[in-house]
């Protein structure tokens, strides 16, 4: 190898060769294991113990087991919520990029509705089923809450009476499908941009569920299962 006049020969060729070899060794690993190989949210409760709250979920309540427990029917496990004049949030912290996985799908089943509910008002703000998507961290966060309402019409959306940072969307209404599993699929990124007037592509930081009955001083029972985030290509929905 020739050396240009006036320049010294590189004294570190061995180090450079080693670095090149190291990159060549690691590159196939990165290519074979992409960061987004699987959906970031995949909750099926199959590995959880029946009769107890699901593993990895947290609550500010000292005893989330007073409301939430994993149950099984026909070999399939699900999360059951039984709320007796109480409100207990249960959350699952998991970051995922909405630009890659904007679609959230899940199943839920309404079993017993709280009485005299009206989620637009604090006094009636109870739902048999509610699923949250959270953006950001406390105290700077927004959320979208999808509910199955007893009284409000499907498609209605409004700010939560308890927080201007939470948007509530009615996906199901009424008792006609009581006791029936219903599948839902929602483009969370489109909802975020519409409800918060923000064209950004945020990172979702978790999901949560809430079956409550404290404001109506009644009783509510609802079930949740198979919560999963998906890329548009997996659903046939055009990308953002």
The CA-atom distances, in angstroms, between 33 and each of 36, 67, 206 are 8, 39, 23
Q: Where are the beta strands (DSSP E) in 124-233?
A: 129-137, 140-149, 157-160, 163-173, 182-187, 203-209, 219-230
What are residue 54's DSSP bridge partners?
A: none
Which candidate, 169, 87, 174, 78, places its Cα nearest to that of 120? 169
The pLDDT value recorded for residue 234 is 73
What's the pLDDT tens digit per position in 11-52? 455 545 443 433 333 333 233 333 444 458 999 999 999 999
Instruction: For residue 49, give the DSSP letter.
Output: P
Question: Does a cis peptide bond (omega within 30 degrees of 0) precede residue 24?
Answer: no
Length of the chain: 240
Instruction: For residue 64, give the DSSP letter.
Output: G
Per DSSP, the three-state class of 22 is helix
Query: The whole model's pTM is what?
Result: 0.82
Contacts of 42 by beta carbon, 8 Å cutoff, 6+ apart: 227, 228, 229
| Tally of CB atoms within 10 A around 111 | 17
**Binned average pLDDT, 10 residues per bin, the chain of 240 residues:** 44 46 33 45 96 96 94 98 97 93 97 98 98 86 96 97 95 98 97 92 94 98 97 70
Burial class of residue 47 (count of CB atoms within 10 Å of its CB; 0-12, 13-18, 19+): exposed
The pLDDT value recorded for residue 238 is 59
The pLDDT value recorded for residue 27 is 34
Question: How far does Cα 198 stand from its chain's mean position?
Answer: 19
Place of tokens 């009284």: 151
Class of domain 42-231: mainly beta
| Alpha carbons 155 and 174: distance in angstroms, whole number | 13
The pLDDT value recorded for residue 102 is 96
């Amino acid at each position: 190898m020739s050396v240009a006049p006036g320049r010294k020969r590189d004294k570190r060729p061995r180090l450079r060769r080693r670095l090149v070899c190291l990159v060549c060794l690691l590159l196939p690993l990165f290519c074979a294991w992409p960061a987004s190989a699987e959906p970031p949210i995949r909750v099926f409760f199959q590995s959880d113990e029946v009769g107890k709250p699901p593993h990895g979920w947290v609550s500010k309540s000292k005893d989330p087991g007073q409301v939430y427990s994993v149950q099984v029917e026909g070999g399939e496990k699900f999360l059951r919520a039984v709320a007796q004049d109480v409100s207990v949030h249960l959350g699952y912290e998991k970051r995922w990029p909405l630009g890659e996985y904007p679609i959230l799908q899940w199943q839920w089943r309404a079993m017993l509705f709280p009485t005299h509910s009206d989620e637009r008002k604090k006094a009636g703000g109870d739902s048999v089923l509610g699923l949250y998507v959270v953006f950001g961290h406390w105290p700077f966060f927004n959320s979208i809450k999808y509910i199955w309402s007893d009284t409000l019409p499907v498609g209605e959306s409004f700010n939560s009476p308890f927080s201007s940072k939470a948007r509530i969307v009615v996906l199901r209404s009424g008792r006609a499908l009581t006791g029936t599993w219903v599948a839902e699929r929602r483009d969370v990124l489109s909802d975020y941009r519409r409800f918060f007037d923000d064209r950004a592509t945020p990172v979702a930081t978790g999901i949560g569920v809430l079956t409550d009955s404290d404001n109506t001083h009644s009783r509510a029972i609802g079930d949740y299962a198979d919560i999963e985030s998906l890329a548009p290509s997996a659903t046939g929905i055009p990308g953002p």
